[in-house]
Amino acid sequence: MKNKIYLLSALLIVLLLLVAGCSQDEEQPRHEPAPTMREAVNNAIAGLRWEIPDTWEVEAQRQMRVATYATPAAEGDDDTGEVAIFYFGPGEGGSVEANVNRWFGQFDQPDGRPTSEVATRESIEVNGIPITIVRTTGIYNAAAGPMAPREDIRPGYKLIGAIAEGPEGAVFYKFTGPEATVNKAEQEFFQLIESIERQ
């Protein structure tokens, strides 16, 4: 009889210890999953931040992009405008010159001239941050990339690109869309550019 009492007592003690252990585990803080890029950057990356117009739509996160915004289509245009923002890390993503040439390489001209001959380029400074601005129009290969086939061809498109040289590397702002749609939102795009500042 005594052995049964001892055995029951031992089992009861083990059960109490297990319950106490579970309670302690429940009280331990849980590790939350890492935030997505969109939640983490909140219109900011690489030591820079910016603001976007209220009329722009924030699109779903995409691979290799900090953010993507859609601008309203102009009357008569089927496509909206797209502002894509890229950041590849300190010293990554290539030089300003290489990226300007890559953007120009995504456009063909109806008369066969190199896009670099019809594009414009300027250097500005916003809040102490050097920014290179480029503009061009033509036949846009939206799928252009390393080894990408030239299959998503869009005539009558326009590009306004801006490369901001931030304290942690270059941030690339690429605005593309039908020419009238980009013209419609050009002022808003430059409001974004003029809002860039160090965090």
* pLDDT of the residue at 38: 34
pLDDT band of residue 110 (cuts 50, 70, 90) is: very high
Percent of the chain with pLDDT over 90: 65
Q: What fold is seen in the domain 37-198?
A: Protein Transport Mog1p; Chain A (3.40.1000)
Residues β-bridged to residue 83: 69, 175
Contact (CB, 8 A) for 53 and 187: no
pLDDT over threshold 70, residue 39: no
Distance separating alpha carbons of residues 31 and 155, to the nearest angstrom:
49
Question: What pLDDT is attached to residue 144?
Answer: 54
The DSSP 8-state label assigned to residue 128 in this structure reads T
Of 170, 185, 13, the residue nearest 99 (C-alpha)? 170
Domain boundaries, the chain: 1-31, 37-198
pLDDT in tens, 42-67: 589 999 999 999 889 999 988 889 99
* 36 band by pLDDT with thresholds 50, 70 and 90: very low
More confident residue, 114 or 15: 114
**Beta-carbon contacts of residue 26 (< 8 Å; ≥ 6 apart):** none
Structure tokens at 197: 């500042």
Are 159 and 140 within 8 A, CB to CB? yes
pLDDT bin (cut points 50, 70, 90) of residue 175 is very high
Q: Is the pLDDT of residue 83 over 60?
A: yes
